[in-house]
Amino acid sequence: MINRIRDVRLQKGMTLAQVAAACEPATTAQTIGRLETGMRNLSLVWMNRIAAALGVEPELLLRSESAGEPRVTAILARGGVRVPAAASDALLPASLGGDQGLRVLAVEIAIGEYRPEDQVWLRELSIEQAAQALNRDVLAPLADGRLVFGRMVENQGKAIRLLPLGGVHGHVLIDNPEWLAAAEMLVRKL
């Protein structure tokens, strides 16, 4: 098993020192760093202490070596959707089930029903399944490598029409997209 302490810590916006101080009893940032990198074995006791410090369930700190973790695929920002500069794992909500075919859109700006720091979890669909996504928010690639996120308003065989969110005006017709992913869950920090 590989731990994902670093991924969770960074997603929570915490430093090594902050996690160390939040552990009960407190420990050092160096110890947390060694546990993150695998330089020190992650025992059940340490896993429970760190999970409590991060405010997550202990099982979120582990992942199997073979599992393909869902990744943040896109960021909804001012002016539209952009691809993140660096890839990062997204924390899988337990209620979503298997992580196959999941993509994550991180929201940076308030737009429509979305707020900054929201995560929109989307499930990939084949073009043949596109009708299932009518009137739902969908993420899809354009031929030039850019991404579009918006309400799918039409399915024309191997083409879809989206009404984009994020400052882009007018409908966008995407002919035979390489993939598309329909919004399945909104994850919002409390």
In this predicted model, what pLDDT tens digit does every residue of 65-82 receive, in sequence order? 444 556 677 888 888 888
* pTM check: above 0.75: no
Residue ending a domain, choose from 19, 42, 63: 63
What pLDDT sits at residue 24? 94
* Same domain flag for 162 and 88: yes
Residue ending a domain, choose from 63, 86, 112: 63
**CA 132 to CA 7: how far, in whole Å?**
32
* Same domain flag for 131 and 177: yes
- Provide the residue range defining the domain that includes 125: 72-187
Residue ending a domain, choose from 15, 46, 63: 63
CATH code at position 126 = 2.10.109.10
Question: Mean pLDDT, consecutive 10-residue segments, the chain of 190 residues?
Answer: 78 91 95 86 90 87 57 80 73 54 86 87 87 90 86 88 76 88 83
Please identify which residue in the block is written with the tokens 């009137």: 135
* Same domain flag for 130 and 51: no
- Asked if 130 and 157 touch (Cβ cutoff 8 Å), the reply is no
* Same domain flag for 116 and 170: yes
DSSP state of 91: P
* Same domain flag for 30 and 90: no
Structurally, the chain folds into a number of domains equal to 2
* Same domain flag for 48 and 113: no
* Same domain flag for 57 and 80: no
CATH code at position 24 = 1.10.260.40
* Same domain flag for 95 and 132: yes
- Assess whether the previous peptide bond of 25 is cis (omega < 30° from 0): yes
* Same domain flag for 85 and 27: no
* Same domain flag for 29 and 110: no
What pLDDT sits at residue 65? 43
**CA 148 to CA 84: how far, in whole Å?**
14
Q: Three-state SS for 106?
A: strand
**CA 149 to CA 170: how far, in whole Å?**
13
* Same domain flag for 91 and 165: yes
* Same domain flag for 83 and 166: yes
In this predicted model, what pLDDT tens digit does every residue of 145-175 receive, in sequence order? 888 898 999 988 888 998 888 655 688 888 9
Please identify which residue in the block is written with the tokens 């966008």: 172
